Structure 1
Amino acid sequence: MKISIIVPVLNEEILIEKNLILLKSNPNVEIIIVDGGSQDKTVELAENLGFKVLISSQMGRAYQMNKGASIARGEILLFLHIDTHLPPQYQSIIQEILSDTKTIAGAFELEIDRPNFSLCLVEILVNWRSRFFSFPYGDQGIFIKSSIFQEFGGFSNLPIMEDFELIQRLKKRGKITIAKAKVITSNRRWQKLGVWKTTLINQLIIIGYYLGVSPTQLAAWYKQK
């Protein structure tokens, strides 16, 4: 089964060349870049590498990923953050996992690039949560058959927590399998405020979501961090 990798981007000129070159080394995979309104050289750099870039008419990662999925030709969709690197042999890993009829979707375990002691603990907690509660997040490379994704209506058009909400819906239908292989994600989102403050804010956002705080309000709080 062919895999389509959908990469939502926004103002990623620092990372996009190096990371897209890694994806370009897989000729049998369809790569779909969806820009959410970048004001830097993100689109130009991606196009210079030979990638066609979709320009989203609406900002928001959920909208971008749904737009990419709508034109994907692969039987399998893999949603990938631009600062996340896939493990070797990811294609065969994904295909093997999705061949299990009990599995409705999957993701990878998480490794953080250049971790210190605190980030190693974050890795452990993330992977424990993912494996025992079947709740991976978007930076773990969520993958799903295209037919299932379309059946579920894709990501809800939320300004935040779109990955969390989709997994909630999918879990009611089947198993979310976590691959033993790991993706490697950048440590940049923990650098600004520090590991524990960032982790605390992330957990408060999740609690707020469960308590019924609107995603719009949660996104406003998250952007203030």
Structure 2
Amino acid sequence: MKKVSVLIPVFNQEVLISKAIASIPTRDDLEIIICDDGSTDHTVQVIENLSHITLLKNPVNKGVGYTVNKLLNAATGEYIVLLGSDDYFYTEAFNQVIDEFLYHVNNYDIVYFNLQINDGTIWRVTESTKYQYCGTVKFIKRSFIGPTRCPEIRYAEDFYFFEALMKKSPLEIFTDQVVTHYNFPRKNSLVDEALQNIAH
């Protein structure tokens, strides 16, 4: 079993998906699983040129909730972490959280980290903000997730998934490490508009 499964749902992201993948460190204890959600551009061809990735495919566009569930079902790692296909990790910080927290502080169900957005602002995930930034900001122990899955919807699936996990009373730790670059704001994104209102 791997220590970490990096899970990436992707749809029509032929330009930025390579940067996302390149930001993931090469480690023997890590697997990368990507699920293409019926892309109509060259996303699949870009990914297929990379031999170290498990690629799943939806025959038609099914939405993020369905796609994330498919990734969760395929994961074999002790922990899972999600990455947006137009985002990327800060590789050194990513490695540091794995080495310092997932190995040496291994009794936690959820290990949180922070995001940095396009203008350099850091969004800090704390006990008081974890519901606001409930998406790709954490490593989650797969055994803790168990059968819990996202609702198969196209918007805010991560909030309902996170809410379901919170009802299971996880043991949590906030690392204060900036691990992910979140591509925000993105043009014509309803999710980003809602987040921007929350942040202000």
Q: TM-score, normalised by structure 2?
A: 0.79
Secondary structure at the aligned position of 1:89 is classed as helix
What stretches of structure 1 move > 3 A for 4+ residues in a row? 197-205
Change beyond 3 A, Cα 1:39–1:94: farther
1:200: Cα distance to partner? Answer: 5.2
Partner of 1:164 in structure 2? 159
1:35: Cα distance to partner? Answer: 0.6
Cα distance in 1 between the residues matched to 2:96 and 2:150: 27
Q: How many pairs does the alignment contain?
A: 189
Change beyond 3 A, Cα 1:190–1:75: same
Change beyond 3 A, Cα 1:203–1:30: same
Partner of 2:194 in structure 1? 201
Cα distance in 1 between the residues matched to 2:197 and 2:119: 25
* More divergent stretch after superposition (83-92 vs 38-47): 83-92
Q: TM-score, normalised by structure 1?
A: 0.71
* 1:1-225 paired onto structure 2 within 5 Å: 2-23=3-24, 25-50=26-51, 51-57=53-59, 58-82=61-85, 83-86=87-90, 87=93, 88-96=95-103, 99-100=106-107, 103-115=108-120, 120=121, 123=122, 126-127=123-124, 130-135=126-131, 136-140=133-137, 142-151=138-147, 153-172=148-167, 173-187=169-183, 189-192=184-187, 201-202=194-195
1:24: Cα distance to partner? Answer: 5.4
Q: Which has the higher helix share?
A: 1
Unaligned runs of 5+ in 2: none
Letter in 2 for 1:52: T
Letter in 1 for 2:106: S
Partner of 1:209 in structure 2? none
**RMSD of aligned Cα (Å):** 2.9
Greater relative contact order (CA < 8 Å, ≥ 6 in sequence): 2
Letter in 1 for 2:97: Y
Unaligned runs of 5+ in 1: 206-225
1:11: Cα distance to partner? Answer: 0.9
Secondary structure at the aligned position of 2:9 is classed as strand
Task: Determine which structure has more spread, i.e. the larger CA radius of gyration.
Answer: 1
